[in-house]
């Protein structure tokens, strides 16, 4: 764990300034991640030709919430770095849940992966945004590097799991046993 504090302190000592504080706070604002992915999902569900993507995103957000917030965080119960190093002054409000894995990073990368599966250029842009969100969690001293790393890993794995299950067991929301499913378009 010492190396993780070294990484966080290095970021804190070498990258902090008022502009970065504002930008990183924006990337990590409470509800930002959920609002962003929720809006993308809602728009996709409204537009008929994007409904399969919207359904997969909706399922992905639900499974991600369960995996991250209801299973992993309560099992691991890892304290946040600012709790363990009380000499740090936070520039954001303290988080109320556990640290492992990073929920912001988990949701960002699981959603970006679904976006990438359906539309590669849009997915790449979402991966870049997700990387900024992940870095913001370190910059703000609210997660350890391994919290963020495993947020990425578990997020991507959850998205792949959701896509596989949805593709193999559902077609337009109907179990495959009751309806023949056409292959999905691969996107650009």
Residue 170's SS3 state is strand
Which is higher by pLDDT, 28 or 127?
Answer: 127
Domain that holds residue 127: 2-170
> What pLDDT shows up at residue 173?
53
Structure tokens at 103: 């929920």
Domain for residue 175, yes or no? Answer: no
Q: What is the mean pLDDT of the chain?
A: 86
177 domain residue, yes or no: no
Q: Tell me the C-alpha distance between 96 and 154, whole Å.
A: 21
Domain presence at residue 165: yes
Distance, CA of 40 to CA of 57 (rounded, Å): 8
Structure confidence by residue, pLDDT tens digits, 76-108? 999 999 888 888 888 888 888 888 999 899 999
Confidence of residue 187 (pLDDT cuts 50, 70, 90): low
Residue 129 lies in a domain: yes
Measured distance CA(163)–CA(36) in Å, rounded? 20
- pLDDT value for 177: 52
- Inside any domain, residue 182: no
To the nearest whole percent, how much of the chain has pLDDT over 90? 45
91 close to 28: Cβ distance less than 8 angstroms: no
Question: How many structural domains are present in the chain?
Answer: 1
The CATH number of the domain holding residue 107 is: 1.10.606.20
Q: How do residues 126-169 score in pLDDT, each as one tens digit?
A: 999 999 999 999 999 999 999 999 999 999 999 999 998 887 77
Residue 24 lies in a domain: yes
Asked whether the predicted pLDDT for residue 51 surpasses 80, the reply is yes
Are 162 and 56 in contact by the 8 Å Cβ rule? The answer is: yes
- pLDDT greater than 60 at residue 68: yes
């Amino acid at each position: 764990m010492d190396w993780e504090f070294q990484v966080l302190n290095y970021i804190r000592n070498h990258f902090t300034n008022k502009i970065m504080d504002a930008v990183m706070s924006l990337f990590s604002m409470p509800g930002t991640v959920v609002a962003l992915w929720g809006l993308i999902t809602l728009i996709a569900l409204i537009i008929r030709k994007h409904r399969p993507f919207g359904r997969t995103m909706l399922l992905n957000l639900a499974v991600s919430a369960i995996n991250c917030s209801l299973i992993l965080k309560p099992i691991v119960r890892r304290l946040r770095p600012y709790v363990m190093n009380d000499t740090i002054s936070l520039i954001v409000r303290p988080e109320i849940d556990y640290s492992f894995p990073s929920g912001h990073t988990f949701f960002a990368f699981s959603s970006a992966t679904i976006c990438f599966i359906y539309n590669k250029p849009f997915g790449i842009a979402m991966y870049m945004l997700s990387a900024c969100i992940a870095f913001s969690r370190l910059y703000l001293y609210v997660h350890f590097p391994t919290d963020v790393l495993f947020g990425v890993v578990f997020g991507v794995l959850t998205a792949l799991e959701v896509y596989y299950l949805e593709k193999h067991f559902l077609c337009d929301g109907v179990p495959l046993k009751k309806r023949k499913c056409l292959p999905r378009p691969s996107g650009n």
